[in-house]
Structure 1
C-alpha cells in the first residue's frame, strides 16, 4: 500500500496530490506536541463536564462539544495552520470564491464505544455528488490514536465519483496517529471512528473547512457572535463567516457582516456591491452601454 504519511519536510504539493488521489493523507508532526498538549489541558474540564451523546450516530459512549475557538487560545493556530489551509484551498478552491470554517469539535470515545457508522460528511448537503468536493476534514489527536482505542477508520479511494458506488473497492485502514499529527480527509471519503476496546478514553479534535456558499455544520455566527469574533485576527474572523462570499452572499444590510464589530449601527447603512472581478467587468460594460444609450436618447 502507498505511503500516506508525510512530514513537515515533504512538499505540500505531494501531500495535496495524495489527498486528491486517495481521499486522505496523514501529516506527521504537523503541529508542535506542546501546543496540542496545551489545547488538551484547556479542554480537559469541558470533557469532564460534557454529557454523553444521545443517538446511535454520535455514539452513546461518546462526548462531543464545539466552539473550540473560545475554549482554548491555542486553537486559532490549528484553524489557521498554513499547510492545512493550503490543502483546503487546493481541494475546495475550484468550487468557491472563498472557503469557510465548517466546525471545530472535540470528541472523546470512552471504553465500550462501538464503531461508528461509516459515512461521508458531504451527505449533510444535498448537492451534486461525484463532481464537487464540499468539505475538508482534519482530525487532530489529543491522545494516541490506535486500532485498540478507536482510531479513525478510512476507506482509501472511496472519494469523488467512488462515493456513488455502494460498496467501496478498498478495505478500511486504521489512521494511527500521535498528538501533533493531522489526519486529513475529504468530505466525500468514507470514514468512521473505530470501537474503543481499550481501558482509556480516546480524545481528539476535528477542524473542518467547507465551500464558502454552504451552510456550515456549526452555525459560526451563533458560536462566535460579533462581540466575540471582533477580537479574532481579521483572517480568522473572515474564515468564521465574517466575510461575504462574492457576489453579495452572507451580507448584513448589504455590507460585510464584519461591520457589526463596531456594534449594531444606529443609522441605516448603504448597500455596497461585493462582486467578483469578472462580474465587475461585466457590470462596467453594462453601465457604459446604458450611459451611451441614455446620451443618445437625450440628443434625439
Structure 2
C-alpha cells in the first residue's frame, strides 16, 4: 500500500484538502486515516444489521452472487449523514469535480456485504456508466467506508494506481493492482476514472462497508435521489444535505420544479401555482440582461 499522508490540524483545513486532492489526482486513489469516527461507523453498521440480514443476494456476475447490496442509507440510519457530509471528503470531491460543474451532487450511498465464497469483481471504471468522453473530465469521486476490517483474504478493494485520467484510454493498465487494506474510520477515495474492483472473499467472515460517491451536478446519478429521498423524507434533512441529494438547481435551470428550485418542495406551505424564476450562471445573466436592455432601448416610445 502506498504511504499515507497524515491529516494536518483542522484549523488548516484548506491545506489538508489540497494535500489529499493532489494525492488523489496524482495516484487516482488515496487512503485517509482517521477520516471518520469508528463509533459512528459502528452505530451505522448496527442500524443496518436488519437490512444486511434481510436483503437478498445480488443477481448477476457484476454485482456478485455472494454479495448483498442496498441503497437509500440516509433514510435507513441517521448516522449515514455524518459520512456523506464529512467536511474533508466533501472538500476533496469539490476540488476534483469543481472544474466541470457549478455544484456536485450525491451519486449514491450503498451498503455492501461481501460473503465468504464471493468471487473477485470484474475490474472496471465507474465513469463508464455515462459513456462520456474519457481522459478529459472527471465525472465522480468514490469513497469506501469500511464497517469491518478490509483485508486481502476477505475481499478488500483492489485499485490500479495511475490508471486514471488519460490512462483510462489505454487498453491495459501499465501496472498491477494493489490491495487496499482498511480499518473502520479510514476512508478510501478513488476517482471514477480509476480502474478498481472488489477482491474475492476467501475468508470465513463477511466483509461489510459502505460506498458513497459524488458526481457532477448536471449528470443523471446512479441512484435516483428523488425516489430514494422524496420530499417527506428530505424535509427532515439539513439544508446542505437536502441540496446534495438533489433539492437544488444546477445553473442554468437544471433540475427545476415548475421553474423554481426544487427546495420549494420542502417548505411547509407550497403554493398551488408557481412562477418560473431564472437560475442562470453570472455570464449568462449578464448576456440576458444586456439583451433585454437593448430590446427595451429599441422599443418605440409609447409602447
* Correspondent of 2:26 among 18, 21, 37: 21
Q: Following TM superposition, by how much is the alpha carbon of 1:170 offset from its aligned partner in structure 2, in angstroms?
A: 1.4
CA distance, structure 1, for counterparts of residue 2 and residue 41 of structure 2: 28
CA distance, structure 1, for counterparts of residue 266 and residue 239 of structure 2: 11
- TM-score for the superposition, normalised by structure 1: 0.96
Q: Which runs of 5+ in 2 are unaligned?
A: 10-15
2:247 pairs with 1:272: no
- What's the counterpart of residue 262 of structure 1? 267
Q: Which runs of 5+ in 1 are unaligned?
A: none
2:59 pairs with 1:49: no
Q: CA offsets, 1:60-116, max 9 Å, x none?
A: 000000000011111111111110011111110000011000000000000000000
Q: Following TM superposition, by how much is the alpha carbon of 1:278 offset from its aligned partner in structure 2, in angstroms?
A: 1.4
SS at match of 1:83: helix
Q: Following TM superposition, by how much is the alpha carbon of 1:298 offset from its aligned partner in structure 2, in angstroms?
A: 2.7
List structure 1 runs of 4+ shifted beyond 6 angstroms. none
Q: CA offsets, 1:28-63, max 9 Å, x none?
A: 010111111111111111101111000000000000
- What's the counterpart of residue 31 of structure 1? 36
Q: Following TM superposition, by how much is the alpha carbon of 1:232 offset from its aligned partner in structure 2, in angstroms?
A: 0.4
2:287 pairs with 1:289: no
SS at match of 1:6: coil
Superposed CA RMSD in Å reads 1.5
Q: CA offsets, 1:236-263, max 9 Å, x none?
A: 0000000000000001110111111236
* Correspondent of 1:124 among 126, 129, 133: 129
Residue 260 to residue 189, structure 1, CA distance change in 2 (3 Å) = same
* Correspondent of 1:298 among 292, 298, 301: 301
CA distance, structure 1, for counterparts of residue 2 and residue 183 of structure 2: 20
SS at match of 1:76: helix
Aligned pairs, how many? 297
Q: CA offsets, 1:211-242, max 9 Å, x none?
A: 00000000000000011001100000000000
* Correspondent of 2:243 among 235, 238, 245: 238
1:167-182 pair list within 5 angstroms: 167-182=172-187
- TM-score for the superposition, normalised by structure 2: 0.95
* Correspondent of 1:202 among 200, 207, 222: 207
Residue 55 to residue 264, structure 1, CA distance change in 2 (3 Å) = farther
Residue 67 to residue 2, structure 1, CA distance change in 2 (3 Å) = closer
CA distance, structure 2, for counterparts of residue 142 and residue 129 of structure 1: 32
State whether residues 7 and 30 of structure 1, in contact with CA within 8 Å, keep that contact through their aligned partners in structure 2.
no
1:211-250 pair list within 5 angstroms: 211-250=216-255
